[in-house]
Amino acid sequence: MIYEYNKIVVPLDGSPQAEQILDQLAFLGPAQTKSIVLVNAVVPSHYAVTTPQLGIPNIIAYMVAGANEYLSQVQEKLQTQGYTVSTHVMEDDAALSIVNLAKTEGANLIAMTTHGRSGLARLALGSITERVIHTATAPLLLVRPDVTSITQLRRLLVPLDGSQLAEDALHHAVALAKMNGASILLMQATHELDAGNKRILFANEEEAEEAMSQWLQDADTYLQSIKHQLLGQDIAVETLVKAGEPAAQISQIVADRAIDLVVMSTHGRTGVRRWMYGSVANKVLRGLTHPLLLIPSRAAAEDA
């Protein structure tokens, strides 16, 4: 399977914050190979307050006209850069509009800033982003406002938890690394055991420490096996095992290792030695100052 992002849905709300995602698209490939689908949502329920001179239908028509004009301006700018661009103004729930449009357009990526501005004709992007994460079947490129644009993709971080679900992200990372001449850092974080877990799961402190040591060794063996599978892909691959809370470890590694992009699955397996991936993805998104590419697992996509 070729992992290519040639049709990209980009939600905009008219704010400079939301438009920052447009500066992050360059590492996905030449503009001439990309079709951008711009979308703005006008939600009728947001305009319940009217005046005798201006009823709800007139307000909606006014907001739709304004949204169309705004998207046309962005469309013209992107077309001068070489992109093929279409625009859509949806009169529906914003998150639902984004997800449904991605499906009907056959998009293979949704790219959006995590926060914009709320108000008339604006998307409440913070809450919308979380809903899109949980319902979209296409990969999501997410950036927080004011994140520095990627001028060159040099190093990718791929967090894994040992499950096939988490490995769904690996193929995307390999494709991007090849395209950009970047390297990949594979990492796995193993939760440290607190006193309560040690008492419940193990007979004594020594047994608990032995188990933790074995888990770290297993994680290293697992990552080395993944690295071995990538031999011959013509990309540099490193591995790193950390003890600690996964989301915190991911953020720290990004800072310490000059990571440009984190690529991870939205789902993994739960349990003492597994990450609760849905939770980890949300925590990473809230604390990360670099772009994040989230890959819905194939199992999750099939359930959608």
Report pTM: 0.85
Q: What is the CATH number of domain 155-303?
A: 3.40.50.620
* Residue with the larger pLDDT of the pair 117 and 271: 117
pLDDT tens for 146-204 read 777 777 899 999 999 888 888 889 999 999 999 999 999 999 998 766 666 666 666 67
The overall average pLDDT reported for the chain is: 82
% of the chain beyond a pLDDT of 70:
79
pLDDT tens for 62-101 read 888 999 999 999 999 999 999 999 999 988 888 899 999 9
- The predicted structure's pLDDT at residue 241: 96
pLDDT tens for 193-214 read 666 666 666 667 777 777 778 8
Indicate the domain borders of the chain: 7-143, 155-303
- The predicted structure's pLDDT at residue 296: 85
- The predicted structure's pLDDT at residue 178: 93
Identify the band that residue 293 occupies on the pLDDT scale cut at 50, 70 and 90. Answer: very high
Identify the band that residue 288 occupies on the pLDDT scale cut at 50, 70 and 90. Answer: confident
pLDDT tens for 230-256 read 988 999 999 999 988 888 899 999 999
CATH topology agreement for domains 7-143 and 155-303: yes
- Classify domain 7-143 at the CATH superfamily level: HUPs (3.40.50.620)
- The predicted structure's pLDDT at residue 108: 94
Across the range 34-50, mean pLDDT stands at: 76
DSSP calls for the chain: ------EEEEE--SSHHHHGGGGG-GGGS-GGG-EEEEEEE--GGGG---BTTB-HHHHHHHHHHHHHHHHHHHHHHHHHTT-EEEEEEE-S-HHHHHHHHHHHHT-SEEEEES----STT---HHHHHHHHHHH--S-EEEE-TTPPP-SS--EEEEE--SSHHHHHHHHHHHHHHHHHT-EEEEEEEEPPP-HHHHHHH-SSHHHHHHHHHHHHHHHHHHHHHHHHHTTTSSS-EEEEEEES-HHHHHHHHHHHTT-SEEEEES----STTS--HHHHHHHHHHH-SS-EEEE--HHHHHH-
